[in-house]
Amino acid sequence: MAEQINSQKLIELYELMVRIRFHEEAIKVLFTQGKIGGTTHLCIGQEAIPAGVIAQLRPDDFVSSTHRGHGHMLAKGGELKPMLAEILGRIDGYCKGKGGSMHIASITLGNLGANGIVSGGLPIAVGSGLSAKMRGTDQITVVSFGDGAANEGNTHESMNLASAWQLPVLFLFENNGYAVSTHTSISMGGSMEKRAAGYDLPYIKVDGMDLEAVHIAAKEAITHVRSGKGPYLMQCDTYRYEGHYYGDPMVYRTKEEIDSWREKDPIKHVESIMVERGILTKEKYQKIKEDIQTEVNEAVAFAEASPQPPIESMFEDVYTEWQP
């Protein structure tokens, strides 16, 4: 029989996936109400990846994320209230309202930051990996990147250096099929597997909609990296149900395509597994969802009640202070 996640762990990861999903759904409402400045990029549909990979990390490990990074932050130990406060630009947020949706970070949690620059997180991860190696720890860094970043120079330079210096970095390729509105079939030459071979990186590709497949593959990859054997490249094929940003008209893909991926919904897949294995009944997992929805509602209320940062705080927490 294929390896399975034990019952208690499966429930924990299911709860995390639901928390990520409901968090993102709450953001949709807040954005529609005009309460979020700028734009926001949702990871609805991709929840199995942060739950399957990031949730396995130790507290002292590091994550370098992307503009679609809310799930990574929650999986690394982020809490709903400061998450939503940050996304609303409020003072009780993780970055005191200065990071917003695309730049949430928490050094305490080991999250080196979401990143609004496509591929911008990869060089940061290489620096983090070099730091761990120089300090002689067994900490690892997981860096997420998408199919748009896959074709950026930063990505290739980072993989090359991590391989040459045998750094403890897990490159996590979240392939959701589209770089904004451009499908990988016309934007990506060759394959990630061939690129990995070019940099002597061990490589694995898994179904990113299948939590167990992601978790089991990540366990092997994390063990490899932590043992000092150098970097690893893991590809998770997945799909974002929303557009590149929330409000994207999505004219570049069909309803039939979206519906076909919705049939593979990672949360519904776990629900069917738990019922099939006698882990939870439908009534019990529905209760879990109701409780998490309550948590999210309370976090939204907390975030909306949090004050705006005072104008003078714009000169705090910066590298160089402006002098009039």
Q: Where are the alpha helices (DSSP H) in 136-177?
A: 153-164
List the domains of the chain with CATH numbers.
Answer: 7-315 (3.40.50.970)
Q: How many residues does the chain have?
A: 324
Q: What is the pLDDT of residue 317?
A: 86
Q: Give the integer Cα–Cα distance in Å for 133 and 227.
A: 12
Q: Give the integer Cα–Cα distance in Å for 123 and 140.
A: 14
Q: What is the pLDDT of residue 249?
A: 93
Q: Give the integer Cα–Cα distance in Å for 280 and 72.
A: 26
Q: Give the integer Cα–Cα distance in Å for 248 and 235.
A: 25
**How far apart, in Å, are the Cα atoms of 54 and each of 86, 170, 180?**
21, 11, 24
| pLDDT tens, per residue, the chain with 324 residues | 578 999 999 999 999 999 999 999 999 999 999 999 999 999 999 999 999 999 999 999 999 999 999 999 999 999 999 999 999 999 999 999 999 999 999 999 999 999 999 999 999 999 999 999 999 999 999 999 999 999 999 999 999 999 999 999 999 999 999 999 999 999 999 999 999 999 999 999 999 999 999 999 999 999 999 999 999 999 999 999 999 999 999 999 999 999 999 999 999 999 999 999 999 999 999 999 999 999 999 999 999 999 999 998 888 888 776 666
Contacts of 209 (CB under 8 A, 6+ apart): 45, 48, 237, 238, 239, 261, 264, 265, 266, 269
Contacts of 149 (CB under 8 A, 6+ apart): 66, 118, 119, 122, 155
Q: Give the integer Cα–Cα distance in Å for 109 and 59.
A: 7
User: What tokens appear for 249 in the block?
Assistant: 């008209």
Report whether 186 contacts 245 (CB < 8 A).
Answer: no
Chain-centroid distance of CA 86 in Å reads 16
pTM exceeds cut of 0.85: yes
Reported as type and span, the H/E element at residue 146 is strand 141-146
Report whether 92 contacts 85 (CB < 8 A).
Answer: yes
